[in-house]
Amino acid sequence: MTLSQPELIANYRCETGENPLWHPMERRLYWTDIPAGRMFRYDPATNTHEQFYEGRPVGGFTIQHDGSLLLFMDRGTVAQWRDGELTTVIEEIAAEREFRFNDVIADPRGRVFCGTVDDGGRKGRLYRLDPDGSLSLLLDHIGCSNGMAFTLDQKLFYYTDSKAYEIYLFDYDLDTGAISNQRVFARFSEEEGFPDGATLDSQGRLWSAVWDGFGVVRLREDGSVAERIALPTGKVSSVTFGGDDLSDMYITTASGNMPRQGDTAAGALFRVRMDIPGVPEFFSRIQIPVNAAGR
């Protein structure tokens, strides 16, 4: 499965490095450091990386069909980022003023499934943002919305609640964006660590990053672990595929508030060359208000 050992690509000592996402138009890898309000990008052609954003926390983001980024932030704010300028799409969600988005994913029709996190005051939620800007509440009483993916036939939807230590499977209606028939796909133990970000490979297998698990795992159809890629740091937060042939697996990690003594790789971005590639992520197609103010 793996053609190389994990290679440390960039180490910004992210408190919570997250949401790695390959930008096929730019041929660069993007990721975020959620609590620090920082975002980064890496160009494998030149082997260079940079921080390009600093501001409010960005829990997750998608790539719009026009190449801009759609940022999902604190207070339920959604904004377009293009060339250093932010354009507000949703000013805030009243129920999320004290909370923030966490993980997000675009679906084949350009909708965005966007989850929030339980921050001690109220449970998290999963929303669906449709291209016309309308927002629908899909799930409530979530500990921490996390890793999502669609099966190759686009009939099923994977969804992770990290605080429950579970990954769920739903029936998914491509035409309406509705999800139904929730059941447990995989359950993790506290000793294993909890499932975090996720992605799908070209054979239809789900990969899950395992926080406090020192690696990422590939899951069988029954949810059991088929393969594990070990990393030198424990808080492994998310995983995606990138590169022109989608054969480069990129993995984000976190340093947390108190990284282990001597753990110099905590918060770094890693890359592993794979012999089974991933599948392209979908572009979001959310309409940007014409008269929205840049900020």
Please name the residues in contact with 276: beta carbons below 8 A apart, sequence gap of 6 or more: 1, 201, 202, 203
DSSP E strands in 65-178: the ranges are: 69-73, 78-82, 85-90, 101-106, 112-116, 124-129, 135-142, 145-150, 156-161, 166-172
Torsion of CA 145, 149, 155, 156, to 10 degrees: -50
Buried b (16+ CB within 10 A) or exposed e, 220-235: eeebeeeeebebebbb
**Residues belonging to the chain:** 295
Question: Which has the closest alpha carbon to 125: 113, 141, 111, 136?
Answer: 141
Of 196, 212, 263, 275, catalytic = 196
Residue 112 tokens, joined: 């965005």
For residues 151 and 159, what is the distance between their CA atoms, to the nearest angstrom?
11
Are 263 and 233 in contact by the 8 Å Cβ rule? The answer is yes
Q: Is 196 a catalytic residue?
A: yes
Beta-bridge partner residues of 63: 69
* Residues designated as active site: 196
